[in-house]
Amino acid sequence: RVGETKSVAAARIMSDFVSQRKNDMIGVVTFSNSAMYVLPLTDSREAILAAISATAGNSLFQTNIGGGLTSAVSLFERVPDSGSRAIILISDGAGRVGAEVQQKLRDWLERYNLSLYWVVLRQPAGVDIFDPKYQDHYEEMLPSEVELYNYFKLLRTPFHAYQAEDPKSLAAAIADINQKEKKPIKYFEKIPGQDYSTHCFVTAALLMIALLTLKLIEVRSWL
State the pLDDT at residue 1: 44
Q: What is the pLDDT of residues 6-42, one digit of tens each?
A: 778 888 889 999 888 888 889 999 887 777 878 899 9
Q: What is the pLDDT of residues 161-208, one digit of tens each?
A: 999 988 889 999 999 999 998 887 776 677 777 788 888 999 999 999
- What span, in angstroms and rounded, lies between the C-alpha atoms of 137 and 178? 36
State the pLDDT at residue 58: 61
Percent of the chain with pLDDT over 90: 33
Predicted confidence band of residue 109 (pLDDT cuts 50, 70, 90): very high
Predicted confidence band of residue 2 (pLDDT cuts 50, 70, 90): very low
State the pLDDT at residue 158: 94
Q: What mean pLDDT do residues 72-84 have?
A: 85
Q: Which residues of 55-94 are buried (b: 16+ CB within 10 A; e: fewer)?
A: bbeeeeeebbbbbbbbbbbbbbeeeeeebbbbbbbbbbbb
The residue among 6 and 128 whose pLDDT is bigger is 128
State the pLDDT at residue 62: 63
Q: What mean pLDDT do residues 103-110 have?
A: 93
Residue 87 has pLDDT above 70, yes or no: yes
Residue 102 has pLDDT above 60, yes or no: yes
Cα-flanking dihedrals φ and ψ of residue 69, to 5°? Answer: -70, -40
* pTM reported for the whole predicted model: 0.75
Please work out, in degrees rounded to the nearest 5, the angle formed at the alpha carbon of residue 71 by the alpha carbons of 152 and 87: 50
Task: Tell me the pLDDT of the chain averaged across its residues.
Answer: 85
